[in-house]
Amino acid sequence: MRKLAPILLVFMFVAWNMQPAGGQSKDVNYDEAKVPSYTLPDPLLMQDGTMVTDPETWRTRRRPELVRLFEEHVYGRSPKPADNIRFEVDSVDPKALGGKATRKEVTVFLTGETGRGESDHGPAVGAEKR
């Protein structure tokens, strides 16, 4: 029974997480005929109402405008790189996994506007990648 308990626990965790999130609608539409009519916005009409009439305006004004809109409404933004980031190698084991890998333990130090953070990492890298 003791050997079966971890497997049962993992199974219950997976089964619990397969349920849709509470904020998701349970209604699904598989019929195109039920989609309400809509009009896509003109990609060449800028937010200030002017039209894109040449490639230069597209590159310098409209494309960056669309990228900002996608960042805001679809994808989000990647955080800016940390102001001060430092790595310290704590240990190296060139014979990890029976000589099949090299294991490095690295501490990553982050400092910035919001404070200080620290994270320890120890991935095993394949011996052929050394």
* CA nearest neighbour of 81 among 113, 119, 120, 121: 113
**Which residues constitute the domain of residue 53?**
40-75
Whether residue 56 is found in the same domain as residue 93: no
Assign 8 a pLDDT band (cuts: 50, 70, 90).
low
Whether residue 71 is found in the same domain as residue 91: no
Residue 13 lies in a domain: no
Residue 93 lies in a domain: yes
If you average pLDDT over residues 19-46, what whole number do you get?
A: 82
Please state the domain count of the chain.
Answer: 2
Whether residue 68 is found in the same domain as residue 92: no
Tokens of 121: 């990492």
Report the range out of 2-6, 42-46, 122-126 with the highest average pLDDT: 42-46
How confident is the model over 33-85, as pLDDT tens digits?
999 998 999 999 999 999 999 999 999 999 999 999 999 888 888 877 767 78
Whether residue 122 is found in the same domain as residue 88: yes
β-pair type (101-112, 124-126): antiparallel
Residue 46 makes CB contacts below 8 A (sequence gap 6+) with: 52, 61, 62, 65
Residue 57 lies in a domain: yes
Q: Return the pLDDT at 113.
A: 54
